[in-house]
A and B are shown apart, each in its own frame.
Chain A
Amino acid sequence: MTVHDQALISGIPDLRNVSLDRLAELGDTVLADSITLYLQRLKDNGVPVYRFNSGI
């Protein structure tokens, strides 16, 4: 299997089947790492707005 055939692993935790109660218990694990990663990305890039003006 080449790298092109492999699924890409993201940094966003899969919380689809996680209850809100359990979320609090996960605070210091993978979730904390993901949050740190995401906040760093926001710090580096800000929150962009992709704006386009097509008036002539």
Chain B
Amino acid sequence: MITTHQLPAEAFAALASGDGNPAVVRHLGEVQRSKHLMLLHAIAAEAETVHPGSRETAAVRESLDLLRAVQVADPDTLAWLFGLPHIGAWTHDCLERRTQGLRPDFGYLAAAAAAAAVRARIRFELDVPVRDGRVLFPGLGYFHGFDRDSSVRLRGDGVRLTVGAITEGQCTDLMPEDDSGGSVPHWQGTHVVRATAAGRTWTVLLETTDQCLNRFALPMAALTAEEITSWRSRLQSAWEVLVRHHGWVADSIAAGVSVIVPLAAGSDTDLDSATTPAAFGAIAASLPSDPVLMAEILVHEFQHIKLSGLQDMVSLTTPCDTRVYAPWRPDPRPVGGLLQGVYAYLGIARFWDAQRHVETGPDDIFRAQVTFERSRSMIESATATLLRTDCLTSTGTRFVSTLRDKGKRLGAATVPANVRAIAREATLDHWLTWQLRHAAIDATTVAQLAAAYQDGEPLSGLALPEVRIEEERRKVAAATRSRVLNMRFLEPQRYRELREAGMPELSEAERFLISGQTSMAVQSYRDEISVSREPLPEAWTGLALSIHLLAETPLLSAFATRLPLMVDLHACLLAQGVMSDPLELAAWLA
């Protein structure tokens, strides 16, 4: 009789607070091992059912026999293998291929079994696939120099491994490569980083070869020797940042993150990072410019890893088609995506809460303060959204409530007024732009309201339309303004340079807004909208933002709650050849 994994109440509470000590993280890892074994069993059983007489199925049987032998000889090595994110990714690949009507890559299982046999130093013989001229040993490395895709016979006697007629080597040398120089011909160990700080060590693989882990939207990067050195150095420095200033998470990261997948960056200014529940323990990222950003990525993505591990154990959300606002994304998000995002932001807020007290340069302090304040406010708004959705299970409601309370405790910390103002502007800009992009309003009701406005009827007594969320209702070209607003705290030096150059990419109204001349910005946006024959949604978001920043105005309520309606009314009147003043429209709607 087998039972199912359980999660102690205190471990759940710790995870919901954004914590989770190394023991909790290792527990999540144990669950993943069981999950991978379970999925392997399903894949092997299906091979027997669907392709019973095939060569691949025979190879699956042979691989399973070898894994059984490994388990008997060295159970720890089997646990090591099934703890690799590579195995998680491969099992999910198999399941995805099955739904696409494709045959799973059974050859990978042979490669995995061979890697375990080499590591356990047991006698074996097995055919393994050659792909792109390489024979892969997941988690260890690969042999190269094979000239075509085929298969090769491995023979191991527990001490030495022979690879077809190509090469052979000591099993003890077939290990990940730590830059100390390999001694086996044709062997390339997976690059390993051993970061140390204050006596604490984090060992992590840099995976650039195994295509099972090439599943993070951006392509896996093939690194030069120089780039590998940069990655080692950046991870070492990031580990020092974590150990020195973020003790709450450093050891847990060491316990839970076993693989980094370097990504090819989209551009010099892009910084991408990703995780997937299919590969527990793996973080994909492009190389950030400084160690603090690397450390932030690790904290952020580790939050996703923990939550994905928890969600494999318990359901926090119910099936639900609702799409909602996420303060960090341009698109409407499903509830599960919002939950993952806000959990990541709890980690980010805690990270910058600590950083703002340890940074020394004025720009770095400012970046840390504003990023902390902005992240903290995101937790407040996103948890409120989640709790309103009716898409959480009772356990999910407990989880989000605990998360919200943790965020509130962060909110008790104070930041200077100018920091709060900059964070608020970035938050408002995002929210107003999102509303105009995605809030859809019934055109018939808008036309009725436009007629009433022209007839001078008061708004009171008229039915206001329902608002629904659509993927892209209006195109809003506000990216440049938003980028500059964020640049003020993310890259203050670049912002100052841009400002000295006169910010030529921005309109006059945007320059007024960004330089704090709010009344001038309101007038300038008003003039732009009033004389234009086009709807100009980006000017409307600029106007709404400027109105929000004015100390007191009776128009605020209309801009705060009815901006999309205002824009559609204006566009409707424009289509009838009627030019309307945006502030008069706002006054009618207020």
A-side residues, CB < 8 A to B, are 3-16, 18-21, 23-24, 26-27, 29-31, 34-35, 38-39, 42-45, 47-56
User: CB within 8 A of A30: which of B2, B274, B312, B491?
Assistant: B2
**B interface residue numbers (CB < 8 A to A):** 1-9, 12-13, 30-31, 33-35, 37-39, 41-42, 45, 64, 67-68, 71, 78, 92, 95-96, 99, 215-218, 266-267, 269-278, 293, 300-301, 304, 308, 312-314, 319, 328, 336-337, 340-341, 344, 394-395, 398, 483, 486-487, 490-491
Interface centre among B30, B33, B37 (most CB of A within 10 A): B37
- B271 contacts which chain A residues (CB < 8 A)? 53-55
A49 — which chain B residues lie within 8 A by C-beta? 215-217, 274-276
In contact, B6 and A47 (Cβ under 8 angstroms): no
B493 to chain A, nearest CB (A): 13
**Min C-beta distance of A34 to chain B, whole Å:** 6
A8-B9 contact, Cβ under 8 Å, with A47-B92, A56-B483: yes
A38 & B39 in contact (Cβ 8 Å cutoff) = yes
- Residue on B with the closest CB to A23? B41
With both beta carbons as reference points, the residue of chain B lying nearest to A34 in the complex is identified as: B38
| B344 / chain A contacts, CB cutoff of 8 Å | 50, 52
* Separation of A21 and B270 alpha carbons in the complex (Å): 49
Cβ contact within 8 Å between A13 and B68: no
- 30 interchain pairs (CB within 8 A)? A4-B13, A6-B9, A8-B7, A8-B314, A9-B4, A10-B6, A12-B38, A14-B4, A15-B34, A16-B30, A19-B68, A20-B78, A27-B41, A27-B45, A31-B38, A35-B42, A38-B39, A42-B95, A47-B92, A48-B276, A48-B340, A49-B275, A49-B276, A50-B304, A50-B308, A51-B273, A52-B328, A52-B344, A54-B293, A56-B486
A residues less than 8 Å from B319 (CB atoms): 44
Chain B contact surface mostly: helix
Q: Is the CB of B274 within 8 A of A20?
A: no
CB distance from A47 to the nearest CB of B (A): 5
Q: Are B2 and A47 in contact (CB under 8 A)?
A: no
Given the known A-B contacts A35-B38, A47-B96, are A56 and B269 also in contact in the complex, defined by CB atoms under 8 Å? yes
Minimum CB–CB distance for A22 against chain B, Å: 9
Rounded to whole angstroms, the CA-CA distance of A21 and B30 in the bound complex is 19
How far apart sit A7 and B395, CA to CA, in the bound complex (Å)?
12
Judging by beta carbons under 8 Å apart, are A50 and B12 in contact? Answer: no
- A53 contacts B3, CB within 8 Å? no
In the assembled complex, the CB of A16 is this many whole angstroms from the nearest CB of chain B, namely 6
Q: Is A12 a contact of B35 with CB atoms below 8 Å?
A: yes
- Once A4-B398, A54-B271 are accepted as A-B contacts, the answer to whether A20 and B71 lie under 8 Å apart by CB is yes
Once A8-B9, A13-B2 are accepted as A-B contacts, the answer to whether A55 and B267 lie under 8 Å apart by CB is: yes
A14-B34 CB under 8 A given contacts A19-B71, A44-B319: yes
Query: Are B38 and A15 closer than 8 Å at their CB atoms?
Result: yes
Q: Is the CB of A8 within 8 A of B340?
A: no
Q: Cβ of B34: which chain A residues have Cβ within 8 Å of it?
A: 12-16
Contact A10:B276 (CB < 8 A) given known A15-B2, A51-B217, A54-B271:
no
Contact of B33 among A9, A10, A15, A53 (CB under 8 A): A15
Give chain A residues whose Cβ lies under 8 Å from the Cβ of B398.
Answer: 4
Q: Is the CB of A13 within 8 A of B278?
A: no
Which residues of chain B have C-beta atoms less than 8 A from A51's C-beta? 216-218, 272-274
Judge whether A10 and B68 touch: CB under 8 Å.
no
Which chain B residue lies CB-closest to A26? B2
- Specify the main secondary structure of chain A where it touches its partner: mixed
Instruction: List 10 A-B pairs, minimum CB-CB distance, nearest first.
Output: A10-B313, A55-B270, A51-B274, A15-B34, A7-B6, A8-B7, A10-B5, A20-B68, A35-B42, A15-B37
4 additional A-B residue pairs with CB within 8 Å, beyond A14-B4, A48-B336: A3-B394, A27-B45, A45-B336, A51-B274
B12 engages A8 (CB within 8 Å): yes
For residue A39, which residues in chain B have a CB less than 8 angstroms away from its CB?
42, 95
A7 near B7 with CB under 8 A, answer: yes
Are B313 and A8 neighbours in the complex by a CB distance under 8 Å?
A: yes
Measured CB to CB, the closest approach of chain B to A2, in angstroms, equals: 9
- Shortest B105–chain A CB gap in Å is 16
**Identity of the chain B residue whose Cβ is nearest the Cβ of A30 in the assembled complex:** B2
Tell me how far the C-beta of B496 lies from the nearest C-beta in chain A, rounded to whole angstroms: 15
A9 to B3, CA, bound (A): 10
In angstroms, Cα B584 to Cα A45, docked, is: 47
A-chain residues with CB within 8 Å of residue B486 when the two chains form the complex:
56
User: Could you tell me the distance in whole angstroms from the C-beta of B352 to the nearest C-beta in chain A?
Assistant: 13
CB distance from B503 to the nearest CB of A (A): 15
Q: In the complex, A4 Cα to B585 Cα: how many Å?
A: 52
Would you give the shortest CB distance from B1 to chain A, in whole angstroms?
8
* A10 touching B38, Cβ below 8 Å: no
B96: nearest residue on chain A (CB-CB)? Answer: A47
How many angstroms from the CA of A7 to the CA of B30 in the assembled complex?
16
Contacts of A10 in B (CB 8 A): 4-7, 31, 312-314
- Docked-complex contact A48 and B277, CB < 8 angstroms: yes
A12–B313 CB distance below 8 A: yes
Cβ of B117 to closest chain A Cβ, rounded Å: 14
Supposing A16-B34, A42-B95 touch, asked if A34 and B4 sit within 8 A by C-beta, the answer is yes
Most chain A CB neighbours (cut-off 10 Å) among B8, B38, B217, B272: B38
- By the criterion CB–CB under 8 Å, are B274 and A14 in contact? no
User: What is the distance, in angstroms, from B80's C-beta to the closest C-beta of chain A?
Assistant: 14
Q: A39 vs B182: C-alpha distance in the bound complex, in angstroms?
A: 42
In Å, the complex CA distance between A44 and B13 comes to 27
Query: Once the chains are docked, how many angstroms separate the CA of A44 from the CA of B42?
Result: 18
